[in-house]
Chain A
Amino acid sequence: MAGLTLRNVGKRYGAMSIIQGLNLDIHDGEFLVLVGPSGCGKSTLLRMIAGLEDISEGTISIGGKVVNDLPASKRELSMVFQSYALYPHMSVRKNLAFGLQNFKVSGAEVERRVAEAARILQIEQLMDRKPRQLSGGQKQRVAIGRSIVREPQLFLFDEPLSNLDAELRVQMRAELASLYARLGTTMIYVTHDQVEAMTMASRIVVLRGGKIEQFGTPQELYTRPQNLFVAGFIGSPKINMLQAKAKRGAGGTVVSVAGMPDFAIAELPTDDQALTLCVRPSSLRVGNGDITGEGTVRLVEYLGSETLLHIALSSGQVLLVSDNGRTSYRMGDAVKIGFDLPDLHYFDSRGQRIEVIQNESQAQ
């Protein structure tokens, strides 16, 4: 097992900068997820850690040792590819053993490790099959097995579940989580799916345009997003964003949102007048809250355990409200919509989080 340190790591292709001055400290035994939209540089970063891509600047250290100039095979890591990268002409057994044969591991030891991986991943009955005779989930297990037999210090996963169907993805997610609990090895996992990131990670790095937007635990990212991008990216259904105006007065600051009553806050640590307020659909409710407005139900999406209500305020803005599955609202119903002040997230005009001190009571 080993931790990983990235210092001012950058990657350029000609004049184009893919990753810029990245700093990260990944603890020994941590499950780190790199998440972000397509093209954010997460896969490139993983490949740089793996040694499959050169780095343009900075240093990468694994277990305290700088590995910039070490070839991939000397970094004591293994990688699971999105495409599985199984050798199509080899049986599962040979696929598992192939890598070990390069490391002067004795025949008996190869056999032991292959059998152990097969047992952990429950693929013992597939050992003599070729990859084309396997289902997507089975291929994925073999690919993971190939990583396990190496007994690496560091596991890298490049969107390993994205080729699987939804049901299998949920199942494999759970299996990966239990594999992590069992092995306790440092894992770095790339995905564009924030649900995967939230459910599996010890900590998450949200990347955009080659820069870190936020680095923290899933709870931190969900409850205290540092900017609008993270607020919008993390959480499903997506967070509601409301444009607001702040007006300073003697007793504090009054915030007005079109379609909702004004309210006061004690202190706003910014001179900005244009704010964005965010509130999660689960923090909104049909009925009274600290702040209560009125709206009309535009759409009802019944999901079983919950119902998503699309409610239009008088300003025309539509808010998403997560209600319980027993809701009886219908399209066209006039309803009250409320939220509590502590559930609001404030962002300035540059999209950065502002910590706001709330008043005890709301202004009318």
Chain B
Amino acid sequence: MKRFFARNAPAYVFLLPWLIGFFLLALGPILASLYLSFTRYDMVSAPRWIGWGNYEYMFTRDRRFWKALEVTFTYVALAVPARLIMALGVAMLLDKGLRTIGLYRAIFYLPSLLGASIAIAILWRQLFAADGVVNQVLAMVGIQGASWITDPDTSLYTLVVLAMWQFGSPMLIFLAGLRGIPRDLYEAAEIDGTPRWRQFTRITLPLLAPVIFFNLVLQTIDSFKTFSSAFIISNGTGAPADSLLFYTVYLFNEAFKFFRMGYASALAWFLLVIIATFTAIAFFTSKYWVHYENERD
């Protein structure tokens, strides 16, 4: 044991900053929040153990919790496919071998870097406001645009469009995946008279499946956690009419507006369960549709 530490001491010294960070800033709060989810805690008085009380309230009496779930699931169901389709489409265009591909790659990636920022969310609000740029453009062609953000029927879709616009990161991964498919396969298909659409469905998509799977899991997790854009655009309330009451916005309000830390912790843990379930489903079904080149069987 002594020898083990003597031999590995330098490694642990280098690991120490990360280890401290992990235990104090990650694992500690995670475990604390699990405990707090079984308590009533307002940050002033000490936490009070209430057992499954928070969870029971969540599922049986909290109508806003169900609303938040509905908003979030709708968003995930729309935003994830929209972003992935957009990302794949642009990646395929860039894969055509443009000379200035580096420039385009950077330009297309930019929204993803900026996307999570507060500034972009504010910009989005301006664009889709009643007198925003979108409506001004529509007015030019004689269309009276809706008040996109303040109308509960359309507000969520403005966020889906924002999500679509942030396709850069999955696009880069798709592009790398497309580059990995040997050209010979398309040439063989070309000689065999395979139409472009069939090449896409029978060669590109199956061979890209591992990358699609990776992006799907990552984007699903990401979308469930969408916060800053929803928070800014809804003024931190989930308005109008709770149509932008994302799960994370609701959780944030419970924690930092109403100081119901115990309940917010329970919400956070349930979000973890949702994300874990979806990831598990993706992994479980992947064996039926994801083909790995170097798989052994």
Q: 10 tightest CB-CB pairs across the interface, nearest first?
A: A99-B192, A73-B193, A85-B184, A85-B188, A102-B193, A89-B291, A89-B206, A72-B191, A81-B184, A72-B190
Give Cα A345 to B208, complex, Å.
57
Q: Which of B85-93, B115-123, B163-171, B195-203 sits within the interface?
A: B195-203
Q: Which of A321-345 contact B (CB under 8 A)?
A: none
Q: A78 and B191 in contact (CB under 8 A), knowing A85-B184, A89-B206?
A: yes
Q: Is B185 an interface residue (CB 8 A)?
A: yes
Give Cα A243 to B297, complex, Å.
61
Please give, as numbers and ranges, the residues of chain A lying within 8 Å of B190 by CB-CB distance: 51-52, 71-73
Asked if A73 contacts B188 (CB within 8 A), the reply is no
Q: Which of A273-300 contact B (CB under 8 A)?
A: none
Kindly report which residue of chain B lies nearest to residue A98, judged by CB atoms. Answer: B192
- Of the A-B pairs whose beta carbons lie under 8 Å apart in the complex, a sample of 28, sorted by A's number, is A51-B190, A52-B187, A52-B191, A71-B190, A72-B187, A73-B190, A73-B191, A73-B192, A78-B191, A79-B188, A81-B184, A81-B187, A83-B182, A83-B184, A85-B185, A85-B187, A87-B202, A87-B203, A89-B291, A98-B189, A98-B194, A98-B202, A99-B189, A99-B192, A102-B194, A102-B195, A133-B297, A146-B188
Give Cα A99 to B192, complex, Å.
5
Q: A102 and B188 in contact (CB under 8 A), knowing A88-B293, A89-B207?
A: no
Q: Is B56 an interface residue (CB 8 A)?
A: no
Q: Size range of the interface on A?
A: 20 to 34
- Size of B's binding interface in residues, CB under 8 A: 23
Give Cα A100 to B191, complex, Å.
11
Please give, as numbers and ranges, the residues of chain A lying within 8 Å of B198 by CB-CB distance: 102
Asked if A99 contacts B202 (CB within 8 A), the reply is no
Interface centre among B185, B190, B191, B202 (most CB of A within 10 A): B191
Q: A132 and B191 in contact (CB under 8 A), knowing A83-B184, A87-B185, A102-B198?
A: no
Q: Is A77 an interface residue (CB 8 A)?
A: yes
Kindly report which residue of chain A lies nearest to residue B294, judged by CB atoms. Answer: A132
Asked if A88 contacts B191 (CB within 8 A), the reply is no
Please give, as numbers and ranges, the residues of chain A lying within 8 Å of B294 by CB-CB distance: 132
Give Cα A78 to B187, complex, Å.
11
Please give, as numbers and ranges, the residues of chain A lying within 8 Å of B184 by CB-CB distance: 81, 83, 85
Q: Which of A49-73 contact B (CB under 8 A)?
A: 50-52, 71-73
Please give, as numbers and ranges, the residues of chain B lying within 8 Å of A132 by CB-CB distance: 293-296
Binding site for A on B (CB under 8 A): 182, 184-185, 187-195, 198, 202-203, 206-207, 291, 293-297
Please give, as numbers and ranges, the residues of chain B lying within 8 Å of A146 by CB-CB distance: 188
Q: Is A13 an interface residue (CB 8 A)?
A: no
Kindly report which residue of chain A lies nearest to residue B186, judged by CB atoms. Answer: A85
Give Cα A100 to B185, complex, Å.
15
Question: A88-B293, A150-B192 given. 16 additional CB < 8 A pairs?
Answer: A51-B190, A51-B191, A72-B187, A72-B190, A73-B191, A73-B192, A78-B191, A79-B191, A87-B202, A88-B207, A88-B291, A89-B207, A99-B188, A99-B191, A102-B193, A103-B193
Give Cα A81 to B206, complex, Å.
21
Please give, as numbers and ranges, the residues of chain A lying within 8 Å of B192 by CB-CB distance: 73, 78, 98-100, 102, 150
Interface centre among B202, B294, B295 (most CB of A within 10 A): B202
Q: A81 and B188 in contact (CB under 8 A), knowing A73-B193, A89-B207, A102-B195?
A: yes
Please give, as numbers and ranges, the residues of chain B lying within 8 Å of A51 by CB-CB distance: 190-191
Q: A99 and B193 in contact (CB under 8 A), knowing A85-B182, A87-B185?
A: yes
Kindly report which residue of chain A lies nearest to residue B188, judged by CB atoms. Answer: A85
Give Cα A171 to B293, complex, Å.
28
Interface centre among A73, A100, A133 (most CB of B within 10 A): A73
**Nearest Cβ on chain B to A70's Cβ, whole angstroms:** 11
Interface centre among B185, B189, B192, B193 (most CB of A within 10 A): B192
Please give, as numbers and ranges, the residues of chain B lying within 8 Å of A88 by CB-CB distance: 207, 291, 293
Give Cα A274 to B190, complex, Å.
52
Please give, as numbers and ranges, the residues of chain B lying within 8 Å of A87 by CB-CB distance: 185, 202-203
Give Cα A80 to B193, complex, Å.
15
Q: Which of A81-136 contact B (CB under 8 A)?
A: 81, 83, 85, 87-89, 98-100, 102-103, 132-133
Please give, as numbers and ranges, the residues of chain A lying within 8 Å of B207 by CB-CB distance: 88-89
Give Cα A71 to B190, complex, Å.
8
Give Cα A50 to B190, complex, Å.
10
Please give, as numbers and ranges, the residues of chain A lying within 8 Å of B291 by CB-CB distance: 88-89
**Nearest Cβ on chain B to A199's Cβ, whole angstroms:** 26
